[in-house]
C-alpha cells in the first residue's frame, strides 16, 4: 500500500473508532475497539469522570451510542436522553408514553438505539418504532410494528442497514408469532417482513405439529449483525412457545432457537442453522452473531462465532450456514454431543416434567444475550459464562389466551434470573460465573477469570489488550485480554445488565457502563 493510501486508511479508522455508533460497536458485532490509550500497564489509573442518574427504577439495560462528543442512551421503558459525553450533562430528553399495561416478559426494559443521518431509532413496549431527531430530540415519525395487546413488545436496539431500519418483536412467553421487519429510515413505511415461524404452504411449517405454529413464539429481542460484502443480515431467534410444555408442538419448530441469514434488501431467507431443534428449555438463540474473517483449517473463511444458551460454542460458515465445529463450553447434560451437521444428540429423560427435572445448564443457559467479544489482536473469543449450574424444569398443560402468559411450565433454580438476594443465601454448589477466553477454532478454554456470582454484563475488548465487563455483584473491572489477570476493579453497588462501550472525547479514551440505575464513565487520571 502506498504511504498516502495508508494514511487515509488510518485516518478513516480513527474517525470510526472515536465513536460507538451501533449497539454492537460495529456491524460484525465484535464489541472490539481499536483504541489503545488504556493499556494493561495504566488501567490501574482509571478514575470516575462523571455519572448520569436514571430516573427510572427499571433494569438499566442500555448500551450507549456516542457520536462526536454526544452520547445517546435509553432509560427504561422508552425514554431517549442526549448527554454531553464530556461532562455528563443532558441536552434533551424524549419520553415515549406507553399505555399502563404492556406485555414485556421480563421487566420493562430497553437495550438501546440505532442512529442514521442524525436520526435516532427506538422500539417501544407498545410495539412502535419511533424516529427522533438526534439534534433536537423532536419526534420525526412513529410507526406501529406490532399489536402489543397480543403480547408483542420491542425491547432491542434497531439495526440500520443502508436506508432501512430493522427491528424484531419480543413476546416468546405470550404466544406471539415473531417477525423481523425493515422500515424506510426516512418515512417509517414497511419495506419487508420476515416471519420467524413459517405459515402453511411455506417451507418449515411442517416442523410444527398440531397447528402449533400460530402461537409458537420465535421472538427477536437482541440486535443482529450485518456483512456488507455478502449483503446478509444475521439474527438470533428466540424460544418456541409454550416454553416448557413442548409436547403440544411436535417437530423441530423452525426457526425458533436458530440463527437466520437474510438478504438485507428483501428479507428473503438465505440460510438458517437451528442450534436447539424442538427447544424444551427456553434456550433462545438470542445471542450476538459475531462475524470474523480468519483462517480455519488452513483456509481463510468468513466465519460466525456463536456461544449459545444451550451450552455449546459453534463455528459456522456465514456464507452458507455450514456447521464447522461445536464444543460444550459449560457443564451440560441434556445432550451427548453434536452430530456432523451440528444437530444435538439428545439425552433421554432430560425434558421438563410435571414433577420437575434437573437439567444442566439452567434456564439462563451457559450464556445468554449479554455481548461476547472477539479481539483480532489476541485472536480470542471472550464471553461471560454461567457454569456448573442447573435448573429444575417443570411442564404442565396450558391453553393459549391473548395477552396472557403462555409458558406451559415453570422453573426452580438457586441462581435467580435477576439479582435480588444476598449471595450467602445461595448454595455454593449451585454454580458460578466466569469471564472466559476461548480459542475460536476449537472452543477450548484459554483462560478464565472466575467470579463468585454470575454476570449479565457484556464484554468489550480493545486493541490496547484490555477487557472491560461488569457483574451482578456490583463490580466493574478490567482484565488483561491476553491472560485474564485483573488490572482494575471498582465496586459500583448495582447489577450490570448491559455492555460497556469505549470511545474518545476530546482525544481521550473513555469507558461507559450502565450499572444499577446509573451510567458511569471512566477515563485515565490526567
Residue numbers of the site for another protein (CB under 8 A)? 56-59, 100-101, 103-108, 173, 243, 362-364, 391, 394, 396, 398-399, 403-405, 407, 409-413, 415-418, 420, 422-428, 450-453, 471, 473-475, 489, 491, 517
Q: Which residues contact 294 (CB under 8 A, 6 or more apart)?
A: 300, 301, 303, 379, 440
- Report the sign of the C-alpha dihedral through residues 254, 415, 109, 475, in that order: negative
Residue 441 burial (CB count, 10 A): 18
- What minimum distance in Å lies between the beta carbon of 330 and another protein? 17
Identity of the residue, 66 or 513, whose beta carbon is nearer to another protein in the bound complex = 513
Identity of the residue, 256 or 509, whose beta carbon is nearer to another protein in the bound complex = 256
Identity of the residue, 391 or 502, whose beta carbon is nearer to another protein in the bound complex = 391
What are the distances in angstroms from CA 171 to CA 272, 298, 403? 21, 43, 10
List, as one string, the DSSP characters of 412-465: E-SS-SS--S-GGGS-GGG-EEEEEEE-TTT--EEEEEEESS-----EEEETTS
Identity of the residue, 39 or 56, whose beta carbon is nearer to another protein in the bound complex = 56
Query: Is the distance from CB of 127 to CB of 103 less than 8 angstroms?
Result: no
**CA atoms of 236 and 365, how far apart (whole Å):** 15
Identity of the residue, 307 or 451, whose beta carbon is nearer to another protein in the bound complex = 451
**Residue 429 phi, psi dihedral angles, 5° rounding:** -90, 10
Of the candidates 422, 470, 418, 423, the one whose C-alpha atom is nearest the C-alpha of residue 449 is 470
- What minimum distance in Å lies between the beta carbon of 136 and another protein? 29
What are the distances in angstroms from CA 15 to CA 159, 265, 467? 20, 27, 22
Identity of the residue, 295 or 423, whose beta carbon is nearer to another protein in the bound complex = 423
On the CB side of 285, CA atoms within 13 Å amount to 30
What are the E-state strand segments in 137-189? 139-144, 159-161, 164-168, 179-184
Identity of the residue, 180 or 514, whose beta carbon is nearer to another protein in the bound complex = 514
Query: Is the distance from CB of 46 to CB of 94 less than 8 angstroms?
Result: no
Query: Is the distance from CB of 173 to CB of 240 less than 8 angstroms?
Result: no
**CA atoms of 123 and 153, how far apart (whole Å):** 8
- What minimum distance in Å lies between the beta carbon of 496 and another protein? 13
- What minimum distance in Å lies between the beta carbon of 148 and another protein? 11
**CA atoms of 517 and 198, how far apart (whole Å):** 40
Element at 488 (helix H, strand E): strand 486-491
Identity of the residue, 146 or 260, whose beta carbon is nearer to another protein in the bound complex = 146
Query: Is the distance from CB of 103 to CB of 403 less than 8 angstroms?
Result: yes
| Grid cell in block for residue 41 | 500497564
- What minimum distance in Å lies between the beta carbon of 104 and another protein? 6
Q: Which of 282, 284, 387, 453 is catalytic?
A: 282
Is 339 marked active-site?
Answer: no
First to last CA, the chain: 37
* Helix (H/G/I), strand (E/B), else coil: 239: coil
- What minimum distance in Å lies between the beta carbon of 214 and another protein? 18
Of the candidates 379, 24, 19, 62, the one whose C-alpha atom is nearest the C-alpha of residue 225 is 24
- What minimum distance in Å lies between the beta carbon of 223 and another protein? 21
Of the candidates 240, 237, 238, the one whose C-alpha atom is nearest the C-alpha of residue 215 is 240
- What minimum distance in Å lies between the beta carbon of 454 and another protein? 11
What are the distances in angstroms from CA 96 to CA 38, 182, 188, 338? 37, 21, 16, 45
- What minimum distance in Å lies between the beta carbon of 107 and another protein? 5
- What minimum distance in Å lies between the beta carbon of 498 and another protein? 14
Beta bridge partner(s), residue 258: 274
* Catalytically active residues, by annotation: 282
Amino acid at each position: 500500500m502506498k504511504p498516502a493510501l495508508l494514511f487515509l486508511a488510518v485516518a478513516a479508522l480513527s474517525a470510526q473508532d472515536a465513536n460507538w455508533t451501533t449497539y454492537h460497536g460495529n456491524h460484525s458485532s465484535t464489541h472490539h475497539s481499536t483504541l489503545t490509550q488504556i493499556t494493561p500497564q495504566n488501567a490501574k489509573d482509571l478514575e470516575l469522570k462523571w455519572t448520569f442518574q436514571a430516573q427510572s427504577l427499571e433494569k438499566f439495560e442500555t448500551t450507549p451510542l456516542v457520536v462526536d462528543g454526544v452520547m445517546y442512551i435509553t432509560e427504561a421503558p422508552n425514554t431517549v436522553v442526549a448527554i454531553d459525553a464530556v461532562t455528563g450533562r443532558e441536552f434533551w430528553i424524549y419520553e415515549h408514553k406507553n399505555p399502563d399495561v404492556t406485555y414485556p416478559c421480563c421487566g420493562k426494559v430497553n437495550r438501546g438505539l440505532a442512529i442514521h443521518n442524525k436520526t435516532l431509532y427506538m422500539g417501544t413496549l407498545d410495539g412502535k418504532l419511533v424516529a427522533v431527531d438526534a439534534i433536537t430530540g423532536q419526534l420525526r415519525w412513529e410507526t406501529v410494528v406490532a399489536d402489543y395487546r397480543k403480547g408483542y413488545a420491542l425491547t432491542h436496539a434497531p439495526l440500520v442497514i443502508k436506508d432501512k431500519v430493522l427491528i424484531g418483536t419480543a413476546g416468546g412467553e405470550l404466544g406471539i408469532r415473531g417477525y423481523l421487519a425493515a422500515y424506510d429510515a426516512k418515512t417509517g413505511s414497511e419495506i419487508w417482513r420476515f416471519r420467524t415461524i413459517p405459515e402453511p404452504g411455506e417451507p418449515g411449517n411442517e416442523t410444527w405439529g398440531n397447528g402449533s405454529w400460530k402461537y409458537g413464539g420465535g421472538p427477536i429481542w437482541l440486535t443482529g449483525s450485518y456483512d456488507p460484502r455478502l449483503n446478509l443480515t444475521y439474527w438470533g431467534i428466540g424460544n418456541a412457545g409454550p416454553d416448557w410444555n413442548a409436547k403440544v408442538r411436535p417437530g423441530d419448530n423452525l426457526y425458533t432457537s436458530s440463527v437466520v441469514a437474510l438478504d438485507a434488501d428483501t428479507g428473503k431467507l438465505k440460510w438458517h442453522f437451528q442450534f436447539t431443534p424442538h427447544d424444551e428449555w427456553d434456550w433462545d438463540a438470542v445471542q450476538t452473531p459475531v462475524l470474523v474473517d480468519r483462517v480455519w483449517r488452513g483456509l481463510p473463511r468468513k466465519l460466525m462465532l456463536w456461544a449459545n444458551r444451550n451450552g455449546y460454542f459453534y463455528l459456522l460458515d456465514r456464507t452458507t450456514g455450514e456447521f464447522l465445529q461445536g464444543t460444550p463450553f459449560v457443564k451440560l447434560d441434556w445432550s451427548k454431543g453434536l452430530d456432523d451437521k451440528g444437530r444435538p444428540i439428545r439425552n433421554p429423560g432430560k425434558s421438563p416434567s410435571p414433577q420437575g427435572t434437573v437439567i444442566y445448564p439452567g434456564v439462563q443457559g451457559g450464556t445468554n444475550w449479554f455481548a461476547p467479544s472477539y479481539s483480532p489482536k489476541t485472536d480470542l473469543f471472550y464471553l461471560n459464562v454461567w457454569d456448573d449450574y442447573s435448573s429444575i424444569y417443570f411442564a404442565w398443560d396450558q391453553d393459549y389466551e391473548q395477552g396472557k402468559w403462555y409458558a406451559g411450565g415453570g422453573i426452580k433454580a438457586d441462581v435467580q434470573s435477576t439479582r435480588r438476594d444476598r449471595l450467602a443465601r445461595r448454595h455454593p454448589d449451585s454454580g458460578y460465573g466466569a469471564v472466559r477466553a476461548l480459542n475460536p477454532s476449537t472452543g477450548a478454554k484459554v483462560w478464565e477469570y472466575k467470579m463468585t456470582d454470575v454476570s449479565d454484563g457484556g464484554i468489550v475488548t480493545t486493541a490496547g489488550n484490555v477487557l472491560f465487563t461488569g457483574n451482578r455483584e456490583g463490580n466493574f473491572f478490567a482484565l488483561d485480554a491476553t491472560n485474564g489477570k485483573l488490572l482494575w476493579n471498582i465496586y459500583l453497588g448495582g447489577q450490570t445488565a448491559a455492555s460497556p462501550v469505549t470511545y474518545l472525547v476530546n482525544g481521550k479514551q473513555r469507558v461507559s457502563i450502565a450499572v444499577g440505575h446509573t451510567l458511569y464513565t471512566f477515563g485515565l487520571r490526567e
